[in-house]
Structure 1
């Protein structure tokens, strides 16, 4: 059994909390979107769906968003959606079903504009960047358990994801990085205050998770037992896909067991890091609906591999 596969199956199942014994300090340098050459942003149109607590569609609306298309190898592109500046209340609403202590206290965060990848990083995108010159560590060009060019890359560590960002930054002269937790949740919510960006509940028609479990009054749905091609479900109001389910997504932040003392301007929270735990968001294909809520969060070892964890990137 390959070493990567061993670590993956050692943590078999959905993402849970791990304990680390090392003390480390990692600094994430902030980017400055204003100083980066973005060129002319293009626009794309998409539908945004909202549902009621029974899972029935309430509304479909047309939206338009701006994006930057980054060429990775001449054949593979990375689409980065422009996210407008704003502020929001981060964390779970106190009355939210299945809210957990790690999602409190709810606090207001103000964010500057940034770009975020429209989808989780795909295996085609990963392979293209893995072929670029090494910065700090080697990258396996085909690490994923579920194979497919348009499937999200998974079975990669936080350190691997950071190396991806570093290589991409060197290649493009733009500052690519992992999103902060607050950037991630702001982008996921896209102006909503409900547990999911589609509404009070979710169904397997709108995300990849263990759809045989229900969250509110919706009918049970499909459990696909694997990742799905990115963009298989409807986007949120910002034009981002797969923010709920499919794969958990690495964030830049160190893991903190609650939000006491959290920053309120969108930066990654790395101060006072005392372990190798990093934050993951969004839930995955192996999770029940309560774990894929906008506020749901967990911690995982930065060196560990799991077939439910991928990532997306930002330019800030």
Structure 2
């Protein structure tokens, strides 16, 4: 499978007891309407072998809001996003997703890739067909491409796309099936400032249109400009939570970059005496990317 082939599965509500994302119909057990959160995460744990990566986090994402997950490399951001998206099972805890579309969650991995030899439009049509005949018939490929800014290259082969265009095609794929929740892992990493700004503006517009958006990013300037709420993750737990303005004011900082450095560097070392988390994270990134 390619990077975008990891489709979010529909998970039965009873599976949420084992940490799987559970799409619901937006109603409480007593049948009453629930106008609240689109995503609810409670006491979520996930590790790999003896390494704990996500350590008992809880949070909610409301419809129409953009929540940004930030933290050093190796802090557990990608793992947390995969669990929320239903791509990865949790060890314990609960994830509830309000499913109001054909797909409850649209997921964009860090590095989406697509099979060469097919055009942008044909590739998107292929993924639309995977939703089933009825849902596929409702997909307007041209409209989705226009929504993310790729209408002008609909006939271009995917291998001829730039890195930014490939990321936008991944975002278009995540939008198929009209999911109420988008989970985006570093949607603008490694891109030039113009395409990065376009991606964040597009994502902001999607949130303003009513979707709940949870994304991870190291682009703290864009996060500060567009996010409604920021969750700072360090060593698998949240060390800061609030709107960008709230976090900056509380830290008496000049911007979100200073908030990040203050929240995750701290004093002293990690459990193995390797120094501040931010330094360990950066060294991990140099050695080959984020640890899960």
Instruction: Please classify the TM superposition score into its range, dividing by the shorter chain length.
Output: under 0.3
Structure number with higher helix proportion: 2
For normalisation by structure 2, the TM-score amounts to: 0.26
For normalisation by structure 1, the TM-score amounts to: 0.25
